[in-house]
Structure 1
Amino acid sequence: MPGVLFLCGLRLRERLNLRYFCLSQENILSRRYLAEYVAVMEILDRKIISLLAEDSRRSLASIGEVVGLSASAVNERIRRLVAIGAIRRFTVDADPSALGLPITTFLLVALNYDAGEDAFKAAINAHPAVLECHHVTGSWSYMLKIRTADLAGIEAFLADLKAGRFVARSETMIALSTACERSFVQMEM
């Protein structure tokens, strides 16, 4: 931001801390300041999301120190981010091997022409081994990521899919090791 921005006599940073600040035309000195105000708001929200992704148990005060807001202002932003769906849930990143699920498998699945996609999606969402399911382009219908305790778990999963008459054909790839695995993509600020 070029220089220090003033909105109604207060620095932009102070305005971001005001809970009930209204972006009416009287409060904005120019469209340039509005664009910069929105850009800073977006940067702060992204930073809050990144900090929560690193450690969802981090205190509001700790987050506030990093982004330059009070704990109550951080709490309001988090509530708003949850309300608009930017934050879907707060979760734990557990080690699958420690939980007895060391086998990571990727499956490419082509659905039968008469298989109902809604029924397939419901079956996949209900199956505890499925971590991810993506509708993909190309000659395959879906790509799945599953975790199992052993090879028999993979075979049982495939048997469940075949029993539901969803699969026309499939290809299974077992991960030998994992070089990188993230549950969240860090955003550039």
Structure 2
Amino acid sequence: MDEIDRQIVMCLGQDARRSLADIGGEVGLSTSAVNERIRRLTASGVIRRFTIDADAEALGFAVTAFVFVGLAPDADETAFRAVATEHPAIVECQHITGSWNYLIKIRVASLAGIETFLDDFKRQRLIARSETMIALSTVVEPPFKPRER
């Protein structure tokens, strides 16, 4: 990956619908050369997907919460990760250091959605304890990518 590839990725990161000709004009390449580089970046895994930035509140997900999770002593961590990967409320999930195992960011419609989220994991005996913090407002956030509910 060279500097032109980085510039192309940055252009797409700002607007994934940007035309190839427009990107080419910015990086000094032809439309076909930009297309070939994007194809190569996608095939190599540098570009994993093209997505949208949706307004979570407008879609009905008004509550953002951060949940520290401690896994149950007998929990299958692979099973936890599989459930977390597919859970529709989870926006981000990080494996962390310290007294907790994971930090999870969720978007739900209401406060009751937080309880439902926790019940989903407790019912499967994947978490032993949790601590939840509700976000009052968001200053900086990556694009919201709605998932199938």
Q: TM-score, normalised by structure 2?
A: 0.93
* Distance in 1 separating the partners of 2:82 and 2:124: 11
**Aligned position for 1:98:** 58
**Aligned position for 1:147:** 107
**Aligned position for 1:77:** 37
* Deviations 1:156-177 (CA, angstroms, capped at 9, x unpaired): 1011111111112111011000
**Aligned position for 1:161:** 121
Amino acid at match of 2:105: K
Matched ranges for 1:6-155 at <5 A: 42-155=2-115
* Distance in 1 separating the partners of 2:9 and 2:55: 22
Amino acid at match of 1:106: F
* Deviations 1:129-183 (CA, angstroms, capped at 9, x unpaired): 1111111111111110110000000011011111111112111011000011124
* Distance in 2 separating the partners of 1:143 and 1:172: 10
Runs of at least 4 residues of structure 1 off by over 2 A?
none
Structure having greater relative contact order (Cα 8 Å, sep ≥ 6): 2
**Aligned position for 2:135:** 175
* Distance in 2 separating the partners of 1:155 and 1:139: 22
Amino acid at match of 2:94: H
Tell me the secondary structure at the aligned position of residue 75 of structure 1. helix
Question: Who wins on radius of gyration, i.e. which is larger?
Answer: 1
* Distance in 1 separating the partners of 2:36 and 2:78: 37
* Distance in 2 separating the partners of 1:126 and 1:46: 30
Unaligned runs of 5+ in 2: 144-149
CA drift at 1:121: 1.0
Percent identity between matched residues is: 61
Amino acid at match of 1:53: G
Unaligned runs of 5+ in 1: 1-40, 184-189
